[in-house]
Structure 1
Amino acid sequence: MTFNDNASVGGNTARRRGRGAAVAGGGIAGIGAIAVLLFQLFTGTDISGLVGGGGGEVGSGESTEIAQCQTGEDANERDDCRLAAGSLALDQYWEGQLQGYRAPQLIIVDVATQSQCGTASNQTGPFYCPPEETVYVDPTFFALLRQQFDATAGPLAQLYVLAHEYGHHVQNITGIIQDHPDNGTGPDSNGVRRELQADCFAGAWVGDMTEQVDENGVPFLEAPTQQQIADALNAAQTVGDDHIQQESGGAVNPESWTHGSSEQRQRWFETGYRNGAEACETFGIPGGSL
């Protein structure tokens, strides 16, 4: 996945927030029940014990623009600008798919910051906070993915992660989250169905990503290569519940799953990629057929 160097991405509304911008003391707020923390999306647990650190000061609510993020060339060079530029393409895609779509806020986290759904940092991973309609991402999280879980976490994999969180936003504003509340864990649970649907929505956008253009009609993104698609599928495989359980040395226990197996996550991404968002109905499928 590569942005066109001359694409204009300076109109994005992403903001940077965290300790590097403004320091304030504070503890960790309680995490909301429907906050979809990406590493909880991966494992169901905080990973501070794996990566060290945690706690300490978190940034205030003050935010700033993403500096020097004006062109596709900038997006190709820096993770923070890539995510900010990706938000433009994602918003444009969903505006075309969903009547009445409203864009979420994207916050690029600098070390740590507070949200209504808890502290955002690279240890909690990217997440969507429904009460705020905001996506939080610390770009250094992708290095942790490579170090701790052997994911390649390349550019398209990073945008898959962002698109997955945007999928949760779509679920929130269309009432899917509210209509299918948490009902426990397990391979047929609503939680697994929501996560697989968000994977499918991400794949649908990747399949359509070359159709989104800037104000001059220049496509934001070039068509992904097969290697880049494989990289995104690798990320989906890495974050399967069964893979995480195996990596942590435990037995595979489907009844504890909250996000789906590696095979399911790859398959639903591919379903969206090949067939579009209309193919992402995971809630009408009988148990055992997901």
Structure 2
Amino acid sequence: MKWQGRRQSDNVEDRRSISGGGKAIIGGGVIGIIVLLLNLFGGETGQQIAPILEQMQGGGQQTEAAAPLSKEDEEMGNFVRVVLADNEDIWSKIFAEHGMTYEKPKLVLFKGGVQTACGGASSASGPFYCPGDRKVYMDLGFFEELKTKFGAKGGDFAIAYVIAHEIGHHIQTLLGTSAKMRQEQQGKSEAAANKLSVALELQADFYAGVWAHYNQENLDTGDIEEALSAANAVGDDAIQSKMQGHVVPDSFTHGTSEQRMYWFNKGYKTGDIKQGTTFEEIR
């Protein structure tokens, strides 16, 4: 992605040099459920991945001072600021075209663990959006796991796709989609509630594709393939197959690899937010 020398967002909170640690609150009551529902690797899938990643990371339970940021860390932070700025510009324009005002979210970079309005979380939970404080939380170290453990291609656009996906959840919060979805989940069976969660996640993938559609002038050759590779790697079926050797469709909360790639690609090709009809199609 072409990002050097371009506008950087002021809405990034870089906490990577602050003491971290603290085990993630995974599945811990209502707050934990919200985090798991809305983060990229949440739900049943998140519960399968988190213990494995926490073990690889040494459990993440001890609090210790974070090391000073390296030159690479600083550069990655600048990249994230540019991607967030692109999202701000594009979604502000789209909202204005529909007679609305876009409220810019904050993006928090952290290492190891973080406290949020949705509870505590660790990098093992994956990037996530917290509707309680309307912030996106990311430990960039997780993307190395995405590549080495889950087979996604490397490259900066995989990170850009994930940021755009989480901004998609912010869009859903602003439009009231997330609140409506949670209300519809009440009283439904686990399988039925999971289908609504899948629709929410796939719509966030669609919004990520819409962002890419309007950002084409800044894309490099191969960027869309990187995004599709990441979407493929984090499909519920792909992760469950890798983690437990079999898939349980009724437990899917984010959609299959095929679905995630399809909806991102649809957003990218159409650029039309009205076509993100996942709730009508994923039933």
Give the shorter-chain TM-score range: 0.7 to 0.9
Can you list the C-alpha shifts for 1:95-126, whole angstroms capped at 9, x where unaligned?
11121210111101133221122333321111
2:250 corresponds in structure 1 to: 255
Can you list the C-alpha shifts for 1:187-232, whole angstroms capped at 9, x where unaligned?
971100000000000011011114xxxxxxxxxx62332x221111
Conserved 8 A contact 1:107-1:135: yes
Matched, 1:203 2:202: no
Q: 1:117 to 1:142 in 2, by over 3 A?
A: same
1:134 corresponds in structure 2 to: 135
2:7 corresponds in structure 1 to: 8
Q: 1:229 to 1:26 in 2, by over 3 A?
A: closer
Where do 5+ consecutive residues of structure 1 fail to align? 61-65, 69-73, 211-220
* SS in structure 2 at match of 1:245: helix
Matched, 1:167 2:181: no
* TM-score under structure 2 length normalisation: 0.82
* SS in structure 2 at match of 1:38: coil
The whole-number CA distance in structure 2 between the counterparts of 1:266 and 1:27 is 31
* SS in structure 1 at match of 2:33: coil
* TM-score under structure 1 length normalisation: 0.80
Aligned pair count? 261
Tell me by how many angstroms 1:58 deviates.
5.3
1:270 corresponds in structure 2 to: 265
1:44 corresponds in structure 2 to: 46
* SS in structure 2 at match of 1:114: strand
Conserved 8 A contact 1:194-1:282: yes
Tell me by how many angstroms 1:13 deviates.
1.8
2:224 corresponds in structure 1 to: 229
The whole-number CA distance in structure 2 between the counterparts of 1:83 and 1:17 is 13
1:191 corresponds in structure 2 to: 197
Conserved 8 A contact 1:59-1:113: no
Conserved 8 A contact 1:42-1:240: no
Tell me by how many angstroms 1:26 deviates.
6.2
Using the aligned pairs only, state the percent identity.
Answer: 35
* SS in structure 2 at match of 1:128: strand
Matched, 1:281 2:277: yes
Tell me by how many angstroms 1:22 deviates.
4.1
* SS in structure 2 at match of 1:78: helix
Can you list the C-alpha shifts for 1:28-74, whole angstroms capped at 9, x where unaligned?
554432222222269231523242322424599xxxxx999xxxxx9
Amino acid at match of 1:129: C
Where do 5+ consecutive residues of structure 2 fail to align? none
Can you list the C-alpha shifts for 1:247-274, whole angstroms capped at 9, x where unaligned?
1243222111111111000000000000
1:145 corresponds in structure 2 to: 146
The whole-number CA distance in structure 2 between the counterparts of 1:275 and 1:42 is 31
Amino acid at match of 1:48: P
The whole-number CA distance in structure 2 between the counterparts of 1:58 and 1:208 is 41
Quick check: 135-144 or 51-60, which moved more?
51-60
Can you list the C-alpha shifts for 1:117-170, whole angstroms capped at 9, x where unaligned?
233332111100011101000111111111211112421111000000000011
Conserved 8 A contact 1:117-1:129: yes
* SS in structure 1 at match of 2:254: coil
Conserved 8 A contact 1:163-1:205: yes
Amino acid at match of 1:49: I
1:87 corresponds in structure 2 to: 84
Aligned Cα root-mean-square deviation (Å): 2.8
Conserved 8 A contact 2:165-2:205: yes
Quick check: 248-257 or 160-169, which moved more?
248-257
Q: 1:153 to 1:116 in 2, by over 3 A?
A: farther
2:241 corresponds in structure 1 to: 246
